[in-house]
Structure 1
Amino acid sequence: MDKNQLGVQFMQDGNWSDAAKAFNEAIAENPKDAVGYINFGNVLSAVGQEEKAIKFYEKAIMIDENAAAAYYSLGNIYFSNEQFDRSKDMFELAMRKGLETSDNYFMLGLTLVQLEKGRLALPYLQRSVELNDQDAEAHFQYGLCLAQQELIDEAIIQFMDCLKIDQAHSDAYYNLGVAYGFKEDSIKALEMFNHALEIQPDHILAGYGKKIMEKGI
């Protein structure tokens, strides 16, 4: 088996030390292949060594400026450190270099939301769920973004799609409650808040929403 493939298998098993060893061997065997550096960077990032990971991603880009996965991985690190302008640039670069994945569209959308550019985020979040309609969190975040733009009916559809995949997503129920409350459907809103509390009894916002709806019925 190829050393990179072997390393990926070790990563999937959570065996970080053997994964690092396999990727190190892949780099030693083929130092001009950007893939080994990206994979080694992913191991370092997974175990919290982000500064070292960045150097491996940058090395991959030096070898191959079209290494889209390296830009994507850099974007994730910058996002996790709330460097949203930098993460936006990396996700956009990854897209321009040909990374047409639901994850990249999703992360670019989330980054734009963090930059308070929700309307610009919508097409990327939409594309994310189009590419992977079984990603509950993508449907949820797309729904949140729609709701923030006051596209309530469209948001409800996404929250419902989220719940079809993950029936225990308490925040999706909570936000459905908010959406129905916005539409002045107190009965439906109360039902959604109750569902959220059944799943997560300490959901403070759902509890607050329930009290408000009960007063209005």
Structure 2
Amino acid sequence: MCSKDGVVAMAEGEKDIEFKKAAIIFVIAALIIFAAGIGIGEAFIWDRYDTSDPAARDIKYLEQVLEQDPDSDQLLVELGWLYYRTGDYQKANQALARAISVNKLNPAAHFNLGLVYRETGLLEKAVQEFQRTLELDPDSKYAYFELGKVYFTQEKWDQAAGQFRYAAEKDPAGADNYYWLGQAYERMGQNEEARAAYLRVLEMIPDHPEAAKADQRLKK
């Protein structure tokens, strides 16, 4: 027969064992919850809001979506734009060419392809794409502006000025339209028209450094 003290000791020992079991179970449960939390965060939260390289993340996402919908010209345009922004002009060209093959009437595909051609020095092809954009969307102020910049690069000052004027008509609040218009006028020796364009820029952006320098230069 066990003594009273022995019974108490056994009870206390059992309590210790139960406590240790409970502690182990608690730790295991906590580790499982923690691991599950990491998995959920990686799958649904952290990856979505990770800003370390958002363009690369978005490219990866679009490529995955396109595996399910390879003939979406809109998704291809978005992918091409992201490649363009990251400087991968070859992949941008490929994505945008695919978008056009799917839908030749997509003005954004032609516009973005024009940007790619301009950046890679294929200026005549850039002109063709911007012109095609304007055929599909005559109100595209950006296409007029970018076409003007290509003509400016080609030193076709009169044609550049014409496009910048169109861009200014479509977007009167766009200071860049007037600045580049002033640049084109100045190259043609039309200093009064150039200064008027620069002054328009300064009305909108009084501390515009380039326009201020140009205005001072033409005052002399």
Compute the TM-score of the two structures, normalised by the length of structure 1: 0.71
Structure 2, unaligned stretches of length 5 or more?
1-47
Does residue 107 in structure 1 map to residue 121 in structure 2?
no
Range that drifts further, 191-200 or 110-119: 110-119
Q: 1:119 touches 1:149 (CA, 8 Å); kept in 2?
A: no
Q: Give 1:180 shift.
A: 1.0
Q: 2:55 touches 2:86 (CA, 8 Å); kept in 1?
A: no
Matches within 5 A, 1:137-148: 137-148=142-153
d(CA) in 1 for partners of 2:99, 2:86 = 19
Q: Give 1:96 shift.
A: 1.6
Does residue 83 in structure 1 map to residue 83 in structure 2?
no
Q: 1:92 touches 1:108 (CA, 8 Å); kept in 2?
A: yes
Does residue 211 in structure 1 map to residue 216 in structure 2?
yes
2:98 to 93, 96, 108: 93
Provide, for residues 151-172 of structure 1, a one-character-per-residue CA deviation record: whole Å limited to 9, x for no partner.
2222212111111121111111
Counterpart position of 1:158: 163
Does residue 149 in structure 1 map to residue 154 in structure 2?
yes
Q: Give 1:53 shift.
A: 3.6
d(CA) in 1 for partners of 2:143, 2:152 = 14
Does residue 183 in structure 1 map to residue 188 in structure 2?
yes
Matches within 5 A, 1:41-56: 49-56=54-61
Q: Give 1:52 shift.
A: 4.5
1:136 to 137, 141, 152: 141
Give aligned-pair identity as a percent.
25
2:200 to 171, 177, 195: 195
Q: Give 1:99 shift.
A: 4.4
Number of residue-to-residue matches in the alignment: 171
Q: Give 1:91 shift.
A: 0.8
d(CA) in 2 for partners of 1:170, 1:120 = 27
* Shift in alpha-carbon separation, 1:97–1:207, aligned structure 2, 3 A: same
Counterpart position of 1:173: 178
Aligned partner letter, 2:162: I
Q: 2:77 touches 2:108 (CA, 8 Å); kept in 1?
A: no
Provide, for residues 159-201 of structure 1, a one-character-per-residue CA deviation record: whole Å limited to 9, x for no partner.
1111112111111111111111111111111111111111111
Q: 1:170 touches 1:199 (CA, 8 Å); kept in 2?
A: yes
Q: Secondary structure at the match of 2:201?
A: helix
Greater Rg by CA:
2
Aligned partner letter, 1:149: Q
Counterpart position of 2:15: none
1:121 to 122, 126, 144: 126
Q: Secondary structure at the match of 1:201?
A: coil
Compute the TM-score of the two structures, normalised by the length of structure 2: 0.70
d(CA) in 2 for partners of 1:179, 1:148 = 10
Q: Give 1:54 shift.
A: 3.1
Aligned partner letter, 2:204: I
